[in-house]
Chains A and B, each alone.
Chain A
């Protein structure tokens, strides 16, 4: 896998998943950079460690659940304070589109 090279189409596909609108220059540059970073990352791809359990969490389990107690939410003006395009009672977004 060390010979991975990202094509421009692959870069655009990943950028689409991540909702990054890249211009052609960025696609070209990221393709190059990602290829070189992935080449390094791929040094672990061949390690024969399929039987090693993955570490999925940062620490051992702990009693981390919250009691079911409701508290009032924010005043609406605080909720909307940072909104780029607030309406009287909500957050406006452009049409969903095609």
Chain B
């Protein structure tokens, strides 16, 4: 054993230890690998760990006078392509697939000297809110192993909460960073659309998703976001952030006006979540902020619009999995049968569900009624936010209406599963940023606060998040994961 206690260790602190020479990256990486060996059997958050490869990368960082983050370990959602390292998207159809290049965000991580610990579990092709839809089995929530960690970036959340990585990258198409961050007591940032490259991110719904950081603290999230938020010539929709990302210090909220869409909180929000949320409003006021009501009348239609647009895009994005160039092939006497057999065997039930919805919504006779109508609702949701931001700096909502639910509880009811994302989906439809951060406990499980801002307001959101974080003083280590527990 290395003797380094990685439980609850922030990336910033790890960075400090490395730069001060208190430990090497190899020792730190070994400590995480030990931790993974100890608890990942229970949590099942990693799909792929290659200890030798990670240690070699760590030694390489130890051998050079690296940048600030050089040698700090990280975990990547298995939706992000990693050169020469298997990447499955949580699907059987990509079993054995080895990308020939890194995703841009992974390349940025490598350039910064980050050391990959492995690839994390997810709902197949990021379609889900619980990580139960992984073809490789569910991940368990480190706060309560009988519960889900959220999803789709459930593995990326669970590894950080369990002390199996200091931070991680996830992707967010309808809440897939923020909701698992909320369920696992972490900070998660959904960036403004078009500020982080999607190249090498296995596509689910192209117009909705971004890569973002998942971390123990707001400052860690900011540090990691600095690494990945960059322009690229490999994603036509990405131009990078408008201004450099700043690592924030906690402060007061004087002069800040928060909007609260109270009508959205009327139904379906667990009392504990609501109570913690109201306490945060009191904190905001105490820190000098003003709270006003805002209306987002079309937000309630976000779920319906999302479940047309996202599956429509997904149905096309997943058509490339045809058994010709990579991945699974089920042999058949002719091409068409090969396609059908391969895709039937390779995709899980949730993926099939979404491909079917999307194909239906785009098919002749239904295209306008479903797809175009959903695009109109998308316009109205954007306008709602635009209007609201004329009067407020940011909008506050819980990230999820519930705490982590038991494994299996919603598996047979797709709509109930989808409904867990009602507070996060409208943000993706609008293409704006949102920060999720822990907001105390409800019945022993993490509750959450979501701060939503206008496009390119990441620095503001991080600064506001740091202020709440200091007041919440949330203990990020789940009781069962504490040293000696």
Residue interface bits A42-80, CB-to-B below 8 A is 1, else 0: 111101011011111111001011100000001000100
Q: Which one, B2-10, B162-170, B280-288, B332-340, is touching chain A?
A: B332-340
B378 contacts across to A, CB distance below 8 A: 54-55
- On whether A54 and B100 interact (CB within 8 A), knowing A20-B352, A97-B335, the answer reads no
CA distance A57 to B395 in the complex (A): 24
Name the residue among B97, B361, B373 with the largest chain A CB count within 10 angstroms: B373
Q: Which one, B114-122, B181-189, B220-228, B318-326, is touching chain A?
A: B318-326
CA distance A55 to B327 in the complex (A): 34
A45 contacts across to B, CB distance below 8 A: 369-370, 373
Q: Does B459 contact A (CB under 8 A)?
A: no
- On whether A41 and B356 interact (CB within 8 A), knowing A17-B363, A21-B341, A52-B376, the answer reads no
Q: Does B353 contact A (CB under 8 A)?
A: yes
User: Closest residue of chain A to B331, judged by CB?
Assistant: A94
Contact between chains at B335 and A34 (CB < 8 Å)? no
User: Closest residue of chain A to B321, judged by CB?
Assistant: A19
Shortest distance from the beta carbon of A93 to any chain B beta carbon, whole Å: 6
Shortest distance from the beta carbon of B102 to any chain A beta carbon, whole Å: 14
List A1-36 residues whose CB lies under 8 Å from chain B.
1, 6, 11, 14-15, 17-23, 26, 29-30, 33-34, 36
Contact between chains at B193 and A44 (CB < 8 Å)? no
Residue interface bits B186-208, CB-to-A below 8 A is 1, else 0: 00000001100000000000111
Q: Does A88 contact B (CB under 8 A)?
A: no
User: Closest residue of chain A to B428, judged by CB?
Assistant: A58
**Interface, chain A (partner B; CB < 8 A):** 1, 6, 11, 14-15, 17-23, 26, 29-30, 33-34, 36-38, 40-45, 47, 49-50, 52-59, 62, 64-66, 74, 78, 81-85, 91, 93-98
Contact between chains at B353 and A66 (CB < 8 Å)? no
Contact between chains at B326 and A55 (CB < 8 Å)? no
A53 contacts across to B, CB distance below 8 A: 376, 379
Contact between chains at A38 and B332 (CB < 8 Å)? no
A66 contacts across to B, CB distance below 8 A: 233, 236
User: Closest residue of chain A to B308, judged by CB?
Assistant: A41
Contact between chains at A37 and B324 (CB < 8 Å)? no
Contact between chains at A55 and B375 (CB < 8 Å)? yes
Interface size on B, residues (CB 8 A): 69
Q: Does B405 contact A (CB under 8 A)?
A: no
Contact between chains at B328 and A18 (CB < 8 Å)? no
Shortest distance from the beta carbon of B174 to any chain A beta carbon, whole Å: 14
User: Closest residue of chain B to A13, judged by CB?
Assistant: B363
- On whether A11 and B341 interact (CB within 8 A), knowing A54-B376, A62-B239, A98-B334, the answer reads no
9 intermolecular pairs with C-beta atoms under 8 Å apart:
A14-B363, A18-B359, A20-B352, A41-B308, A43-B301, A54-B378, A54-B379, A82-B325, A91-B325
Contact between chains at B334 and A95 (CB < 8 Å)? yes
- On whether A59 and B193 interact (CB within 8 A), knowing A21-B344, A82-B326, the answer reads yes
- On whether A30 and B372 interact (CB within 8 A), knowing A58-B208, A84-B329, the answer reads no
Contact between chains at A93 and B338 (CB < 8 Å)? yes
- On whether A40 and B363 interact (CB within 8 A), knowing A19-B340, A81-B100, A84-B326, the answer reads no
19 extra interface residue pairs, beta carbon distance < 8 Å, beyond A41-B374, A85-B329: A11-B356, A21-B340, A30-B356, A33-B414, A34-B353, A37-B418, A38-B357, A38-B360, A40-B415, A44-B374, A55-B378, A55-B382, A56-B375, A65-B236, A95-B334, A95-B335, A96-B334, A96-B335, A97-B337
CA distance A29 to B348 in the complex (A): 13
Nearest first, the 10 A-B pairs at minimum CB distance are: A97-B334, A21-B340, A54-B375, A82-B326, A84-B329, A58-B207, A64-B236, A21-B344, A55-B378, A19-B339
Contact of A40 among B307, B338, B359, B372 (CB under 8 A): B307
Contact between chains at B315 and A40 (CB < 8 Å)? no
Residue interface bits B366-389, CB-to-A below 8 A is 1, else 0: 000110111111111010000000
List B341-356 residues whose CB lies under 8 Å from chain A.
341, 343-344, 347, 349, 352-353, 355-356
- On whether A26 and B332 interact (CB within 8 A), knowing A18-B359, A64-B237, A82-B326, the answer reads no
Q: Does B401 contact A (CB under 8 A)?
A: no
B239 contacts across to A, CB distance below 8 A: 62
Contact between chains at A34 and B301 (CB < 8 Å)? no
List B294-312 residues whose CB lies under 8 Å from chain A.
301, 303-305, 307-308
- On whether A97 and B376 interact (CB within 8 A), knowing A59-B237, A64-B236, the answer reads no
CA distance A84 to B441 in the complex (A): 49
- On whether A40 and B343 interact (CB within 8 A), knowing A55-B375, A59-B194, the answer reads no
- On whether A74 and B100 interact (CB within 8 A), knowing A18-B355, A30-B356, A82-B327, the answer reads yes
A11 contacts across to B, CB distance below 8 A: 356
CA distance A64 to B236 in the complex (A): 5
